[in-house]
Amino acid sequence: MSSDSRVSQVLEDVLESGCSPERACEDCPELLPEVLRRLRALRKVEAQLNNLFPPADGTDNNGPSEFLSLDGGLPSIPGYVVESVLGRGGMGVVYKACQLKLNRPVAIKMLLGGVYASPSERIRFMHEAEAAARLSHAHIVQIYDIGDLEGRPYLMMEFVGGGTLADRIAGVPKPARDAAALVATLAETMHVAHRHGIVHRDLKPSNILLTDEGDAKISDFGLARWFNSDANLTLTGAWVGTPSSMAPEQARGTTSAIGPGTDVYALGAILYEMLTGRPPFRGESASDTERQVIADEPVPPSRLNPRVPRDLETICLECLQKDPARRFNSAAALAEDLHRFLRGEPITAHRAGVIERGVRWVRRHPTLSVALAGALLLAGLLVSGGVWLALQRADRAHAVEADLKEVAAFQQQSRWAAAQTALERAEARLGMIGPRSLRRQFDLARRDLDLVMRLDAIRLRRVTQGAPAIYRAQANQRYEQAVRDAGLGTVAEPPDRVARKINDSAVKPALLTALDDWMVCAPAGTQRGWLVAISQKLDPDPNGWRARIVAPATWDNLSALSTLASEVPGDGPSVSLLLALGDRLNAAGGDPAPLLRRVEREHPADFWANLMLGDALLFSDPVAAGGFYRTALAARPQAAVAYCSVGDALRRQNELDDAIHYYRAAIQQDPRYARGYTVLGMALSNQGMLDEAIENYRKAIPLDPDYTWSYFELGNALRTEGLFEEASDNFHKALLLEPTNTRARDGAECAAIREGRAEEVWARWRKAVDAAPGDVDNWIGYGELSLYLGHDDEYRRVRHELLGRFGSSTDPSIAERTSRACLLLPCEGDELRQAAILADRAAAAEHSTAPWIYQYFLFAKGLADYRQGRLDEAVAIMEGGASKVMGPCPALIDAMVKYQTGDVQTALKLLAGAAVGTDWSARAADKRDVWIWHALRREAENLILPNLNGLMAGTEQPHSDDERLAMAAICQFRSQSLRAAQLYLDVLTSAPEAADAYPDLRFRAACAAALTAAGRGGDATRLDTNERARWRQHARDWLSAEVEACSQQLDRADPTARTHLAQRLLRLRYEPGLAGIREAEMLRALPAREQTDSVQIWKAAEAALNRNYHAK
């Protein structure tokens, strides 16, 4: 056998058996190096393959990578409960566990079997781990214990829950002072370790863990070579680490040179990555990176991020010196210099001087430099002695002047961030005692820039998507105050004078921009006129666009604004003026997207243009909106609003995990940004994490008490949790802030309906319609409520009005809602034709509508098809594109079609399915959509069960279980709990398998039984104690069967089905109907045995949910 085929054979063995390459080569040690080389190559290719063909089910024990992971399941270690897998890597697996004795969370790092080749290696590992375990420091991840489980070494460590520094950086530069402070802490910590004789050797952002409070903790002390899977592949003693974070002496493999200086280098690399968002060296391949680490000079951080202060850059580059002797001589020295920088004192690290830079240049260009060597030598001789000192002092003043000139230049170009950086640099150079003239110049520049930042902050705060009127009024006040504080003038001063002052300002462009935004916020009349007069003086605007925008005939007039927007050239007036026009257009109810697209095309990097365009597209095209938001984010990586916006775009696309990531980043940027918490809550609640969502809404409210949506979403969440009174409170608060917010109004009204005041709401709604007859949603809601309450004649009147007023609307979303509302009862003649045309109009808008909205449009179309007798078309839509929306409605329409085409059996089945699958109680009819459900249910029942009246009156008996289930739905609606429970009992007794056909059956039955037992419902008030106990028993039996079924299926189901099953379990926790056998205070009144039985069920449900949560 040739050596090549033997190598292949060994490789196959390794892959198949999962044993270590060393063991596989026991009989043929000469093959080991080649086997290891090919294994490494194989892993690289495998990574590419995994990228291109991700495993289908999300588990990673699928396919050939099995040999890298431990066989599934959690290990059991005496004294600990292993709870979940925190991460997997080349070195093994990290688990989260609980130490039973001390009841504290720990992390267990379990290494792969075969990590050490021989018994002596094992002893060495234990020694090194022990040394690391002796380190005890607030910023070091404490090792509690080391051990061995079936040949696999493991470390038991402090659990640190806030992620790694690498996650935190993730390619985005961090503020310079934060970076300096963090690295100073790390350097101090490293100094302690160095004093104990321990070198870390693999410091990198992914080894820095963060606590929930944001404190850094260093992990993997001195053990890196054991954890790095490549370590045992080289077997040379000089391990290969992560190339981008290793020091040149490591890359060269000179083990003897590895010492504290190696860690200083790594600290510099961490600082570099925090300042620039990327490591100092990053090549095409690992070997390329190694080459760069050894031979190349890092790109100065300030070239990648102009905000990096010069001194910090100097410190960073001194750490990254190739020669360890030229770095800081200890981690402590590095820490001290960082603290000097933070205190604004001169640092000790020095910039590479002319000569040093020359030397480096020579190193890079050896041939070219020989010719220049003579000239350099001469220059070197001239600069010597006392001349040097004098020159240096003059140099410094000169440099400050140059910095300030730079500030001015940047200000002219409106590059505010760059100006800010230059100013910080000047400040550092100036120290406390610069020449007075320079100091004055500096103070002026500082004041100007502070004003720019203040104005910008006002604008940022305004775009928070709350009630626009509130935020405009706030911004108006703040602008006024800022301009007054800056000494630029007040409304009382003549515009001429103010304009002159602004004209003389070094930051005139920023002031002009602010004036345009202020103009949008200012109330009509004197103040707006004053602003326009100032702007006109400064920005000639020869075509008079500004005057046309503010003309009273245009300001609030949609068609005039639209005309203006279509005429204005994207490259004509200033961006701020164009965006002001977009703002107006939006406020008047128009679509600013086409205008903003043109603006964005002319100013592709403008933060505001991208942000506003994203906002305009968010609902119609979230993917494109996300792109513009990202561009805005790139322009301003510090703007919390940009992170939130990217998150919004992702949330619209149902990418909830990613959205949450961005929302958290927004909060990290600005912990006082209220909207950040609210949208984070919304994403969490979409994921079913209601408690966390509520917590975030509650955080948002005190931060910004004017933000309507915090109250609204909190109300929604509380309602879901069954806390109706508090929910109603919050809806009312939202409504108080923004009386025109229809969703808050609906929330408040629906809360009143839940409290049984439906007729009262109906009367109020009627008044609202009369007061604002132009509001289509008002009409529709009123019509739907009328129908739900059985005021069919009033509904017909509304239908007539709706078609008369909005029948010709070209807006597809109005067309959809109008047609749907008009077709909820059979309809004929002109009205039917008109409603059908509206539905067609909505359905034609497929390409301009987000898919998830378009499903609703399809539903309207299907409903219209049904009303027109086009039954096949209706079924196609109801079973196809619209099947996922409008709750039971598609199935109900489908059922009616089936009945009309003679398929009575299927019709009954569908009706029963809809009956069981929905909560039909009047209490749940507190959402507008649900009124539609009830209307269609009523129609379907009357059609499919011609003897319905007899059945409900008891004069006729049901023939089938499906009829019983349909009847139970009616009983639910009429609040006849006892009768509903009896019907469910009949079905479940005669045909237990019905529970499989209707997954909600046992849940509904249990609710009905529990309500009956609690004496709730019109027919359940007079039961005696025994009967109540009997119904409680039924409820518990059904519930425990439900929990068991869900729990069993959970373990086998795919992710989608799992989510669904988890929802089924979750609702048990919140369903008000089950309170009688769930809530502690209710249970206390029951016999002890019943209490235990109940508690057992809830425990089982929670355990299943827990298991599912950890499996994720």
Partner 1 sequence: MGDGRTTKAVQRYLDQLAHVSGEVPAEPLVRELMAASVNRLHMLCASMLLRSYPRLTRPPLNLQIDEMLGAVVERMLKALRSVKPNTVRQFFALANQHMRWELNDLARRLDNQTRAQALRASRAAAPADSSGSDLTPNARRILNAIDGLPPDEREAFDLVRIQGMSQPAAADVLGVSAKTVQRRLNRALLILADQLGDLQQPQPQPARP
Which residues of this protein are in contact with partner 1, per CB under 8 A? Answer: 8, 11-12, 15-16, 38, 41-42, 44-49, 51-57, 62-64, 66, 170-172, 277-278, 284-286, 604-605, 623-624, 626-628, 630-631, 633-635, 637, 643, 658, 661-662, 665, 1054
Alpha-carbon distance of 923 to 585, in angstroms, equals 41
First-to-final CA distance of the chain: 47
Shortest Cβ 615–partner 1 spacing (Å) = 15
3 state DSSP class of 975: coil
Residue closer to partner 1 (CB basis): 293 or 936: 293
Shortest Cβ 593–partner 1 spacing (Å) = 13
Residue type, 26: E
8 A C-beta contact, residue 671 and residue 686: no
Shortest Cβ 64–partner 1 spacing (Å) = 5
Which residues does residue 156 pair with via DSSP β-bridges, in sequence order? 108, 145
Backbone angles phi and psi of 81, in degrees to 5: -110, 115
DSSP state of 326: G
Count CA within 13 A, CB hemisphere, residue 845.
27
Instruction: Return the closest-CA partner of residue 508 out of 542, 537, 529.
Output: 537
Shortest Cβ 16–partner 1 spacing (Å) = 6
Alpha-carbon distance of 310 to 428, in angstroms, equals 8
Shortest Cβ 53–partner 1 spacing (Å) = 4
Shortest Cβ 666–partner 1 spacing (Å) = 9
Shortest Cβ 600–partner 1 spacing (Å) = 8
- Nearest-5° Cα angle at 953, 950 to 954: 85
Ordered DSSP codes for 34-103: HHHHHHHHHHHHHHHHHHHS--TTS-S-SSGGGGGS--SS----TTEEEEEEEEEETTEEEEEEEETTTT
Shortest Cβ 55–partner 1 spacing (Å) = 7
Residue closer to partner 1 (CB basis): 631 or 982: 631
Shortest Cβ 658–partner 1 spacing (Å) = 7
Shortest Cβ 629–partner 1 spacing (Å) = 9
Backbone angles phi and psi of 1021, in degrees to 5: -80, -20
Residue closer to partner 1 (CB basis): 53 or 388: 53
Shortest Cβ 878–partner 1 spacing (Å) = 17
Residue closer to partner 1 (CB basis): 760 or 846: 846
CA 563 to chain centre: 38
Residue closer to partner 1 (CB basis): 47 or 138: 47
Alpha-carbon distance of 74 to 72, in angstroms, equals 7
Residue closer to partner 1 (CB basis): 166 or 342: 166
Shortest Cβ 633–partner 1 spacing (Å) = 6
Alpha-carbon distance of 911 to 962, in angstroms, equals 8
Alpha-carbon distance of 46 to 51, in angstroms, equals 8
Strands 208-210 and 152-158: unpaired
Which residues does residue 88 pair with via DSSP β-bridges, in sequence order? 93
Alpha-carbon distance of 851 to 622, in angstroms, equals 11
Residue closer to partner 1 (CB basis): 658 or 1102: 658
Put residue 94 in one of left, alpha, beta given phi > 0 → left and psi -120 to 50 → alpha.
beta
Shortest Cβ 650–partner 1 spacing (Å) = 10
Residue closer to partner 1 (CB basis): 633 or 1062: 633
Alpha-carbon distance of 416 to 419, in angstroms, equals 5
Ordered DSSP codes for 341-388: HHHTPPPS-----HHHHHHHHHHHSHHHHHHHHHHHHHHHHHS-THHH
- Kindly compute the dihedral angle of the four CA atoms of residues 365, 370, 374, 376, in this order, to the nearest 10 degrees: 10
Residue closer to partner 1 (CB basis): 61 or 906: 61
Sheet with 104-111, edge to edge strand ranges: 80-89, 92-99, 104-111, 152-158, 143-149
Shortest Cβ 206–partner 1 spacing (Å) = 12
Residue closer to partner 1 (CB basis): 21 or 747: 21
Residue closer to partner 1 (CB basis): 48 or 1026: 48
Residue closer to partner 1 (CB basis): 284 or 828: 284
Residue closer to partner 1 (CB basis): 60 or 128: 60
Q: 876 burial class (0-12, 13-18, 19+ CB within 10 angstroms)?
A: middle
Residue closer to partner 1 (CB basis): 17 or 949: 17
Residues 6+ apart with CB under 8 A from 754: 724, 923, 926
Shortest Cβ 1102–partner 1 spacing (Å) = 29
Alpha-carbon dihedral sign for residues 561, 565, 568, 572: positive
- Kindly compute the dihedral angle of the four CA atoms of residues 727, 733, 739, 744, in this order, to the nearest 10 degrees: -20
Residue closer to partner 1 (CB basis): 649 or 978: 649
Shortest Cβ 6–partner 1 spacing (Å) = 13
Shortest Cβ 862–partner 1 spacing (Å) = 19
3 state DSSP class of 812: helix
Shortest Cβ 284–partner 1 spacing (Å) = 6
Residue closer to partner 1 (CB basis): 661 or 979: 661
Residue type, 904: V
Alpha-carbon distance of 820 to 859, in angstroms, equals 8
Alpha-carbon distance of 4 to 1049, in angstroms, equals 49
Which residues does residue 89 pair with via DSSP β-bridges, in sequence order? 92
Q: Which token pair is 193?
A: 């370790």
Residue closer to partner 1 (CB basis): 250 or 631: 631
Residue closer to partner 1 (CB basis): 167 or 770: 167
Residue type, 846: E
